[in-house]
A and B are shown apart, each in its own frame.
Chain A
């Protein structure tokens, strides 16, 4: 089935550790996005990439890093510099129609 796969679904991290969230899509979309969702805050854009080997900061990029070495993959690293990393992280992609397709999300908890 075509879609977006995020892993892991749940992740626990100790303070001071970096963690990487995986996002893979088989929709042949050029653009991919990472959002953070907190209760009462809505979705906020962390990073986006409109083409392979290029990515841009979104509204809340501090403490995060990404790479886009392949069209299908857009991993997000939550670094120890991110002061409040506990959140629900959503990866999305879009093609020519502009419709945004989301993955199932990854819930990160800092212990």
Chain B
């Protein structure tokens, strides 16, 4: 079983839809969870950074972590064509400068159709 599993999609939704993106993981040591957005031919940019279980909201984006199920989600409300990108989940066991232990999912390609 891979450490981090993410459905690659592609996922296609109409403008205004609620989008749900998910990752599952097997390493119970993971405590810090991130979502990155990557536009085509560009570097990833950090969207959400959460610690342990719970929800975090930022504008139209909500990140949810359920450590008991080893499952994380990113919800996008009122999706826009500009949200069309690949979304990568990432996670690591420790905070601060331990990014060499960061494990990425393979990414989900999202298209929002006008």
Interface residues of A (CB under 8 A from B): 4, 6, 30-31, 33, 40-43, 45, 48, 50, 56, 58, 90, 92, 94, 96-105, 107
Q: Is the CB of A104 within 8 A of B106?
A: no
User: B5 to nearest A CB, angstroms?
Assistant: 11
Q: Is the CB of A102 within 8 A of B44?
A: yes
11 contacts across the A-B interface (CB closer than 8 A): A4-B43, A33-B100, A42-B104, A45-B102, A56-B100, A90-B43, A90-B44, A98-B99, A100-B99, A100-B102, A102-B45
Interface residues of B (CB under 8 A from A): 6, 8, 32, 34, 41-46, 49, 88, 90, 95-100, 102, 104-107
Which of B46, B49, B96, B106 contacts A41, CB < 8 Å?
B106
Q: Is the CB of B42 within 8 A of A105?
A: yes
In the assembled complex, the Cα of A50 lies from the Cα of B88 at a distance in Å of 24
In the assembled complex, the Cα of A97 lies from the Cα of B98 at a distance in Å of 10
In the assembled complex, the Cα of A42 lies from the Cα of B6 at a distance in Å of 10
> Number of contacts between A and B (CB, 8 Å)?
62
Residues of A close to B100: CB separation below 8 A: 31, 33, 45, 48, 50, 56, 58
Most chain A beta-carbon contacts within 10 A, residue among B46, B88, B97, B106: B97
CB-CB under 8 A for A42 and B99, given A90-B43, A99-B46, A105-B43: no
Q: Chain B interface mostly helix, strand, loop or mixed?
A: loop
Report, nearest first, the 8 A-B pairs whose CB atoms are least far apart.
A102-B43, A42-B106, A43-B104, A48-B100, A42-B104, A98-B96, A94-B99, A102-B44
User: B98 to nearest A CB, angstroms?
Assistant: 7
User: A46 to nearest B CB, angstroms?
Assistant: 11
Residues of B close to A42: CB separation below 8 A: 6, 88, 104-107
Residues of A close to B102: CB separation below 8 A: 45, 100
In the assembled complex, the Cα of A67 lies from the Cα of B111 at a distance in Å of 39
Q: Is the CB of B107 within 8 A of A98?
A: no
Residue of A nearest to B43 (CB): A102
In the assembled complex, the Cα of A94 lies from the Cα of B99 at a distance in Å of 8
